[in-house]
Amino acid sequence: MKKILIIIICFTLFSCEDVLVENPKSIAVETFYNTSDELDAAIAAIYGTMKGGGCMGGRYPAAQNASVDYAYGRGSYAEVSEFQGLGSTNINRVQGIWEAFYQSIRNANLVIKNAPEGNELTSDEIAESVGEAKFLRALIYFIMVRNWGGLPIRTEDNMDEIDISRGSVDNVYELIKEDLLFAEANLPDEAPVSGRASKWAAKTVLADVYFYLGKYTDARDKALEVINSNKYSLVEVSDADDFANIYGPEVITTSEEIFYLKYSRDADQGWNYVLYNHHPGSGLHPNGGYYIIYTDKEESSFIKNWDTEDLRYKYQWYDWDIGFGSSTMLNKKFADPDATSTYGAGNDYPLYRYADVLLLYAEADCQVSNAPTTDAMEKLNMIHRRAYGKNPLVSSEIDFQLLDYDKESFIELVLKERGYETMWEGKRWLDLKRTGEVTEIIKDATGKDVAEKHLLWPIPVSELEYNKAITADEQNPGY
């Protein structure tokens, strides 16, 4: 089943990796962007680069999850968990992430620029294709601006220019919003296959953008549009193993999926990140594992204070002494004992689930109302009930009670639940930075000070050498 899905997502009879080896500059524009099949192949190239093991397929989520208050990096990732910035090895890693993202941006720009000239395309095909390319461009810039700050803004209008100055954070967000609004208006109501974008994915990312910008009314209202569409629902669980119906390698799609990066065991199209998480002896990945991120149930206050009756805890953690003591644990949220190769894990990367929207709405609504509301509490309790195997839509004895919380304590509660719910999905570090209290939270949890240079990744040397419009003086602080 996964094999069929990935072939459809690649939109061709060859693999996604085969699409990527094509140099976009060598494509004859007048002959390539004219049919729907050609356009689908061009869109597949946008997805392909960002999904690779050097980007979202491995190194990006690994770097994110080593920078949180409940986990520790091991080996070359250990320095990330010291919160003092990046050394040469990790600087090279984030340089590769930067380069992969910009290759995907270039592939998106090619579609945006050339699709309107396709002579065998309908106006609807053009609008949807440009909408999907703009959605992906916006998503990438949204990821990048939160990790690097201001960026060179490369669009279809300047894509052949080498020297492009570093745009401000505000300028980057303006393009992100413009792209997402176009995508929202032009993407289909239903994605053609799981793993491609719909207008609801655009609305969800737009809500997230407003959320990070502190535009809470806009964030709440956009999230509510997604909720009120009744297109999504939480997958119900009755015991811990049922969470495999959300995260497992055999899952193709669920009622909770809004936008995922899709992977397959076949033809080395798997999610390499799964290999980062496990020990070779665990049996959770047949090709071993790097076990480069772990936790300690005695040292991590976030883990130590987590109710072990929460099914998310039971599902995710397994004890494994990695040489640091018997209290160390590894995370099995994403595992594939039947992976066919190093890059063969079939789990998908859940960038946006319905759970994300419910939690975003709960916090944004509280911010707007200056206090938790009944509706905000209900959305939070839906997540909490599911975590204990209850029906998400039915009140339960484990519900949080509205009268027990004011604005500040409710937002803290939502942040904690977001930490439990989205653990190992590469979202916690960005959430902590968003609060403006990341240094205090990390200090309280780990006793470590967060250096200013750790808050942003360095602009890569390759960019500074290639792009003469950015000088060394514009490098992020501390690098």
Across-strand partners of 261?
A: 349
Rounded to an integer, what distance in angstroms lies between the CA atom of residue 409 and that of residue 281?
Answer: 42
Q: How close are the terminal C-alpha atoms of the chain, in Å?
A: 47
**Could you write out the DSSP letters of every residue in 271-287?**
-THHHHH--GGGSSSTT
Report whether 83 contacts 448 (CB < 8 A). Answer: yes
Average pLDDT for 100-121: 96
Structure tokens, 84: 């003092």
Over the stretch 378-411, which tens digit does the pLDDT of each residue have? 999 999 999 999 999 999 999 999 999 999 999 9
Q: Which of 87-91, 117-121, 247-251, 290-294 has the lowest mean pLDDT?
A: 117-121
pLDDT at 18: 35
CB-based contacts of 209: which residues, under 8 Å, 6+ apart? Answer: 138, 142, 173, 176, 177, 180
Over the stretch 233-283, which tens digit does the pLDDT of each residue have? 999 999 999 999 999 999 999 999 999 999 999 877 999 999 999 999 999
Contacts 24+ apart (CB under 8 A), 325-328: 325/296, 325/298, 327/296, 327/297, 327/298, 327/299, 328/294, 328/295, 328/296, 328/297
Return the percent helix, strand and coil in the chain, to nearest 5: 55, 5, 40
Residue 400 neighbours by CB distance under 10 Å: 16
* pLDDT exceeds 70 at position 9: no
The domain locations on the chain are 2-21+30-149+171-328+335-462
Q: Which of 159-168, 173-182, 215-224, 263-272 has the lowest mean pLDDT?
A: 263-272
Q: pLDDT tier at 364 (50, 70, 90 boundaries)?
A: very high
**Could you write out the DSSP letters of every residue in 93-105?**
HHHHHHHHHHHHH
pLDDT at 343: 80
Bigger pLDDT: 14 or 271? Answer: 271
Residue 416 neighbours by CB distance under 10 Å: 13
Bigger pLDDT: 473 or 1? Answer: 473
* pLDDT exceeds 60 at position 17: no
* pLDDT exceeds 80 at position 12: no
* pLDDT exceeds 90 at position 447: yes
Over the stretch 173-208, which tens digit does the pLDDT of each residue have? 999 999 999 999 999 999 999 999 999 999 999 999
Q: Which of 263-277, 424-438, 439-453 has the lowest mean pLDDT?
A: 263-277
pLDDT at 14: 31
Average pLDDT for 441-455: 97
Q: How many CA atoms lie within 13 A of 330 on its CB side?
A: 26
pLDDT at 30: 55
Report whether 240 contacts 311 (CB < 8 A). Answer: yes
Helix (H, G, I), strand (E, B) or coil at 166: strand
CA proximity to 180, closest of 199, 194, 196, 195: 199
* pLDDT exceeds 50 at position 24: no
Rounded to an integer, what distance in angstroms lies between the CA atom of residue 62 and that of residue 50?
Answer: 15
Over the stretch 455-472, which tens digit does the pLDDT of each residue have? 999 999 999 999 999 999
Rounded to an integer, what distance in angstroms lies between the CA atom of residue 151 and that of residue 107?
Answer: 18
* pLDDT exceeds 60 at position 26: no
Over the stretch 294-311, which tens digit does the pLDDT of each residue have? 999 999 999 999 999 999
pLDDT at 168: 98
pLDDT at 226: 98
pLDDT over 70 for what percent of the chain? Answer: 94
Q: pLDDT tier at 19 (50, 70, 90 boundaries)?
A: very low
Helix (H, G, I), strand (E, B) or coil at 206: helix
Rounded to an integer, what distance in angstroms lies between the CA atom of residue 258 and that of residue 246?
Answer: 12
Mean pLDDT over all residues of the chain? 93
Structure tokens, 177: 């919003």
- Residue 135 sits at the vertex; the CA angle it makes with 362 and 26, to the nearest 5 degrees, is 155
pTM score of the predicted model:
0.94
Residue 287 neighbours by CB distance under 10 Å: 16
The CATH architecture to which 2-21+30-149+171-328+335-462 belongs is: Alpha Horseshoe (1.25)
Residue reference for tokens 């939270």: 441
* pLDDT exceeds 50 at position 8: no
pLDDT at 340: 87
